Amino acid sequence: MRRFTAIFLSTLLAASAQQVGQNAQSPASAATFQTSTQLVVETVSVKDKSGKPVENLTAKDFVVTEDGVPQTIKFFEFQKFEDVATPLAPSAPDASRAAPMARLPKVQITPETPGNMKYSNRRLLALYFDMSAMPVPDQLRAFTAARKFVETQMTPQDLVAIMKYEAGAVQILQDFTQDRDRIESILETLIVGEDQNSGDTSNDANSADTGAAFGQDDSEFNIFSTDRQLSALQTASKMLGSLNEKKALIYFASGLRLNGVDNQAQLHATVNAAIRAGVSFWPIDARGLVAQAPLGDATRGSSGGLAMYTGGAAMAMQNSFQRSQDTLWSLAADTGGKALLDYNDLTKGIVQAQQAIASYYVIGYYTSNAALDGKFRRVKISLANGLSASLDYRQGYFAGKQFGKFTTAEKERQLEDGLLLGDPVTELTIAMELDYFQLNRAEYFVPLVVKIPGSELALAKRGGAEHTLLDFIGEIKDDFGTTVSNVRDKVDIKLSDSTAAELAKRPIQYDSGFTLLPGKYKIKFLARDAETGRIGTYETPFVIPNLNKEDKRVPISSVVLSSQRVDFKDALYNAAKDKGKAESVNPLVQEGQKLIPSVTRVFSKSRDMYVYLQAYQQAATAAHPLVAFVTFYRGQAKAFETPPLEVTEALDNRLKTMPLKFSLALSKLPAGEYNCQVTILDATDQKAAFWQAPVMLIP
C-alpha cells in the first residue's frame, strides 16, 4: 500500500492552554542509590454457598500468584460491614443552611500511606456529577436524589465524597466524610448554583483552561466532549486510587454517547484506570424513565423530510437514546458496578452501590516482577488448607511505564508494544480525521490527519534552536484482524523563536495517506513526545464504502472542510522521495497547494472556509452537469447559503471524477454552532446527495 506523510504547524489559533512544565535540572551532587518497589493491593470478597461473607480468615489462608509466580503477602486486613445497618438519626433543622454560602473551597482526596488503612471498616461512596452531560432539570433531579440518600439512607459506616466535572476540570468539593450536615450544605449550594461560577467560566470553545485537576486544551478540543468526559472519569479514578479500600463512584449523567468517530482508546483507558484504582462505576441516568414523543417534544424542531412519515425519524431518535445509555452500561459492567437506567427514583442507584460493598479482605504484596513494561499481569488468588468458598477480586492489572532511562531500542520497543497493549495510553490529547477519495474502480485514497495541542508538547534546546520531537506509529487492520497498512515516523521540528513562543496556542498537525480497498477497518495510532515520553493513543473503526454499488444517490467522496492552504513543499518534511507520487495521488494537493483538513471543524471568522469533495459518474457514458451548494443552519433556521455552483467538466479518468470546490467568507456570520450541509444535484439522472456535519465559528 502507498503511504505519504507530512507534518506542519497549524495556523488555527486556539485558546491559551496550560504550559507544559519542564523537568527541573538537579544540581551535581554525590552519587545516590535508588530502589523502587511496586505495591499491589487486591480487595477480595469471600462468600460461602449461601452468599454470606466468610470471616476470621488470616493471610496464611490465601495463596497469591502473579503470572504463575507465588507472591508473599505483606499486608492483610479485614473490612467488616454489618448486614443490616441503621441509618443515621435525622439532623435538627438548621435555618442557617438556607442562607447563601461562601464559595466552596476545592480540596483533594487525602491519600493513604502504604500499609495504613485510613478508612478501616468504612464504605467509600463518591458522588460524581457530570455537569457537562446534564441539563439543568436533570442536575436538580440528581442533587435531590443525592440529598435524599444522605438524609434517609446514609449509615454510620458510610463515608461520602462529592466530585464535580465542569468547564474541563474535575473538582473535589468534599473529601470523604461522615458529616451529613456538611454534605447536605454542599448539595444545596450546587442546587442554587452558587458554586458554579457561571459568570467566570464557560464550556465553549472560547473559554480558558481552569488549571484544575483535569484540564485539557479548552479550545477547539471542546468539540470532542465524550473523550473529555471519559478522560475526566479517568482522572477521578486516579484520585481515588490513592486509597486502598474499595471505592464506588456514583456517576450522574444524562446518558453518554459514543459516536462512530469517538476515540475508543479513551474508553478502554478509563476502564483500565478504574480497575487499577479499585474503583467501580455505578452510572445513574439522571433523565429517569423517559416517555418521549416519537418525533421529539417541544424543545426541538421538526426533523422534516420523508423520515417523518416512514418512521425513520422516530426510530433514529429511539436508537440515539438507547446508544446514550449503552456507554453507561459498559462503564458499569467492565468495572464491577451496575447502571441505573429508566428509573425515576435515582436514590436507588446510590443504594445499590452502598449494598454492593459487603465485608471483604484487603491483601497487599510487593510484586516480584519489577519491570515497568506496561504489560498485563494476571493475578490469581485462592484459598489454602482445603478451604472452599467463592472469591471475587481483580483478575490482574497493567504494570507501570517509565521513560526516562529507556535506550533507543527500548523507546522503539515501547511504541511497538503500544500497538499491542490492551491498556491504551492517553497522556496526550489527540484528534483525528479520516477521509476517502476514489482513485479507480478498486482503490481509495485515505488521507489521515492528526492534531495535537502544542501546549502538551515539550521543547528542547539543540544547536541554538528550539525543537519539538515527535514519534508516530500506527496500523490499520481489516475486519478479520489482518494488518493491511502501517505508518512509522520520527519528526524533529525546528522552530523559530517566535513560533516556539506561540506553540502553547497552536496545535501540531500531522498527516499521512493510505490506499485501501472498500471494507471495514480499524486504525490504532500512537503519538509520543520524544522529550517527555508522554504518549497519546487514538483508535477507531471506519468504513470505506463501495461507491461502485451506489445507484440511488450521487456517489461522493468525503467532504473536507478547511481554513488553510499551504505550499506542498512547505508541508512535507520527511517524504521528499514520495513527493511526485503524493502530488499525483492525493486529491487535496492541487497546483502546488495542499488543502489542510480541519480536524475539529472549528473555524475563525477572520479566515475563509474551503469546502472540497468529489462526485463520481463511473456508470455514465458522458459526465453529467452537477449543481452543488453549501448551506449553514442554526437550529432549524437557514443562516447562510452559497449560490448554486454548476460543474460541467470532469477529470480524464474512468470514474469521470467531478471536483467540487467552495470558498466561503465567514466574517458576516455570528459566532456559534452551525450545521454545515453540502447538497449535490444531478438533474440528468434525477439523483441527489446530501452531507451534513456540525461546525463551530469563533471570533
pLDDT tens digits along 233-276: 988 998 898 888 889 999 999 888 765 455 677 788 888 889 88
CB 187 within 8 A of CB 385: no
Distance between terminal CA atoms of the chain? 42
Taking the mean position of all CA atoms in its chain, how far away is CA 250? Answer: 19
CB 487 within 8 A of CB 3: yes
Question: Distance between CA 642 and CA 280 in Å, rounded?
Answer: 51
- Cell digits for 237? 479514578
At which residue does the C-alpha cell 493513543 appear?
537
In tens, the pLDDT along 36-61 reads 567 888 889 898 888 888 988 999 99
pLDDT of residue 469 exceeding 50: yes
- Cell digits for 544? 470505506
Highest mean pLDDT: which range of 126-130, 150-154, 397-401, 533-537: 126-130
Report, as an integer, the average pLDDT of 293-316. Answer: 65
- Cell digits for 400? 507501570
Taking alpha carbons only, the member of 697, 82, 584 closest to residue 354 is 82
Percentage of residues in the chain with pLDDT exceeding 70? 77
Task: Give buried/exposed letters for 236-253 (b at 16+ CB in 10 A, else e).
Answer: bbbbbbebbbbbbbbbbb
Q: 555 CB contacts (<8 Å, ≥6 apart)?
A: 438, 547, 548, 615, 616, 617, 618, 689
pLDDT at 107: 56
For residues 393 and 631, the model is more confident at: 631
In tens, the pLDDT along 329-373 reads 989 988 889 999 989 999 999 999 998 888 889 998 999 988 877
Pairing of strands 672-682, 626-634: antiparallel
Question: Distance between CA 642 and CA 610 in Å, rounded?
Answer: 12
CB 126 within 8 A of CB 163: yes
pLDDT of residue 18 exceeding 50: no
Taking alpha carbons only, the member of 560, 681, 677, 689 closest to residue 630 is 677
DSSP H helices, 529-626, are: 568-571, 579-585
Q: 503 CB contacts (<8 Å, ≥6 apart)?
A: 9, 454, 455, 457, 459, 468, 495
pLDDT at 235: 86
Question: Distance between CA 117 and CA 41 in Å, rounded?
Answer: 12
Report, as an integer, the average pLDDT of 112-138. Answer: 84
Report, as an integer, the average pLDDT of 226-233. Answer: 79
pLDDT at 10: 41
Band of residue 543 on the pLDDT scale cut at 50, 70, 90: very high
pLDDT of residue 679 exceeding 50: yes
pLDDT at 205: 37
Backbone angles phi, psi at 477, to 5 degrees: -115, 145
Q: 190 CB contacts (<8 Å, ≥6 apart)?
A: 129, 139, 143, 164, 173, 196
- Cell digits for 671? 459566532
pLDDT at 462: 61
Question: Distance between CA 328 and CA 342 in Å, rounded?
Answer: 12
Q: 406 CB contacts (<8 Å, ≥6 apart)?
A: 414, 533
User: Which domains does the chain carry?
Assistant: 1-16+406-549 (2.60.40.3880), 39-78+363-398 (no CATH), 122-357 (3.40.50.410)
pLDDT at 210: 39
Backbone angles phi, psi at 143, to 5 degrees: -65, -40
pLDDT of residue 217 exceeding 70: no
Report, as an integer, the average pLDDT of 456-466. Answer: 69
Taking alpha carbons only, the member of 161, 152, 149, 89 closest to residue 122 is 161
For residues 106 and 155, the model is more confident at: 155
pLDDT at 652: 84
Backbone angles phi, psi at 349, to 5 degrees: -65, -40
Kind plus residue range of the DSSP H or E element containing 536: strand 535-544
pLDDT at 568: 61
Taking the mean position of all CA atoms in its chain, how far away is CA 236? Answer: 14
CB 359 within 8 A of CB 80: yes
Query: What would the DSSP string read from start to end of 665-681?
Result: --TTSPSEEEEEEEEEE
Report, as an integer, the average pLDDT of 78-91. Answer: 65
Band of residue 101 on the pLDDT scale cut at 50, 70, 90: very low
Band of residue 231 on the pLDDT scale cut at 50, 70, 90: confident
pLDDT of residue 228 exceeding 70: yes
pLDDT at 298: 59
- Cell digits for 305? 423530510
Query: What would the DSSP string read from start to end of 222-256?
Result: GG-HHHHHHHHHHHHHHHHTTS-S-EEEEEEES--
Going from the C-alpha of 68 to that of each of 61, 410, 453, the distances in angstroms are 18, 26, 42
CB 36 within 8 A of CB 405: no
**374's torsion region: left (phi>0), alpha (psi -120 to 50) or beta?**
left
pLDDT at 465: 62
C-beta neighbour count of 384 within 10 angstroms = 10
In tens, the pLDDT along 399-429 reads 876 776 677 777 877 787 777 777 777 888 8
Arithmetic mean of pLDDT over the chain: 79
CA angle 226, 231, 234 (to 5 degrees): 135
